[in-house]
Amino acid sequence: MSTNFKMLQPFTLPSGVALKNRIMLAPMTNFLSHDDGTVSDKEISYYKERSGGVGTVITACANVLAHGKGFAGEIGVDRDEQIPGLKKLADTIHAEGAKAILQIFHGGRMCPPELVPNEEILSASAVPAEREGSKTPRAMTDQEIQDTIHAFGEATRRAIEAGFDGVELHGANTYLLQQFFSPHSNRREDGWGGSLENRMKFPLAVIESTQAAVKKHASEPFIVGYRVSPEERENPGITMDDTLQLVDELAKRNLDYVHVSLSDFYQGSMRDEEPTPRMEMIKERIGHLVPVIGVGSLHTPDEVEKALETGVPLIALGREMIMEPRWVEKVQNGDTASIRTTLKKGTQDELVVPEPLWSTIFNVPGWFPIED
């Protein structure tokens, strides 16, 4: 077994949870749960195949309320009836030697109407997303906001009861937490909108609700992380200056990590030509206060090691772990030359990538490097 890689070194999170290494399975939508949000056998097989080498598995997002369902085949954590399936998932991940983190979220205006009650989508304000086919959401009432904050706490309780080691609050990728923070989707004139400070209130209240549930229900250290997208293309939209002020607040909240959502680890601004990597800016701002997780197009062990050399202590691999479920094991065994960095047709069963995820990958141009 190779011990020369920094990625294979253990890491202890602020809560005291010890990770066996610094590689995490990134949260990636897989469309594999049952229609009622319960975990399916296909989903169990998919995670089992990818949990053996990584130190931590962060699951695909799980909706905390019925009107927060963002995808077909999404895990649910909005009802106690879902706990047994979630427990089976956590147990499966643990049996392979990894810590299990449930990513929890609400899709807000990005929810397909056909997946939510009465086909009524909700958000901070009645402003549709700037993409083709987007529907106009209804602005949430103050009571609905309070109910959603409470729901994140209840989802955390269910994750604890199911045996997960933590939760990740999905404040990225245009979903509800980000929608409240964004000046594009949040045009409210009450205490939940307007100023930057007011736009932060909802995500910070969700963190508070989540941590209160941990304090009440967890009998041992429990991970709470937060995922953030650095910028938005829209005008008005989230700027890097906005995000740096947000992460300043996140760093004060006793989180275990801040997970930066990027398609490329070294990605510069999506708003202008400013080339400084967004990851670097966030790490320099708060990395001395809270661990920062890096992610994005790091396919080979050398690329991961180079990313760790920037001072980011943890790396999440997403597409890489779909193409090569045994990525970490191959590094451990010195078999790095055989790590697959493309997806070949005809390898679906070998890679344990069930339908409809497999077909979706091949139907989205540019998502994965495809090899005939």
Question: E strands along 84-136, which residues?
Answer: 99-105, 122-123
Token pair 């007011």 in the structure block, residue: 198
Question: Which of 161, 160, 175 minimizes the C-alpha distance to 61?
Answer: 175
Question: Which of 277, 324, 244, 348 minimizes the C-alpha distance to 23?
Answer: 324
Question: Which of 108, 88, 198 minimizes the C-alpha distance to 151?
Answer: 108
H-run or E-run covering 368:
none
Backbone φ and ψ of 336, nearest 5°: -65, -25
Q: How far apart are the first and last CA of the chain?
A: 33
- Kindly report the number of other CB atoms within 10 A of residue 205's CB atom: 18
Helical packing angle, 83-95 and 142-161, nearest 10°: 50
Q: Is 46 among the residues known to form the active site? A: no
Q: Which two tokens stand for residue 213?
A: 């549930």
Question: Which of 351, 297, 369, 300 minimizes the C-alpha distance to 328?
Answer: 300
Rounded CA gap, 292 and 258, in Å?
5
Distance, CA of 370 to chain centre: 24
3-class SS letters over 205-244: HHHHHHHHHHHHHCCCCCEEEEEECCCCCCCCCCCHHHHH
Catalytic residue among 175, 226, 257, 266: 175
Q: Helix or strand or coil: residue 56?
A: strand
Characterize the bridge pairing of strands 11-12 and 18-19. antiparallel
Q: Helix or strand or coil: residue 75?
A: strand
The residues annotated with a catalytic role in the active site are 175
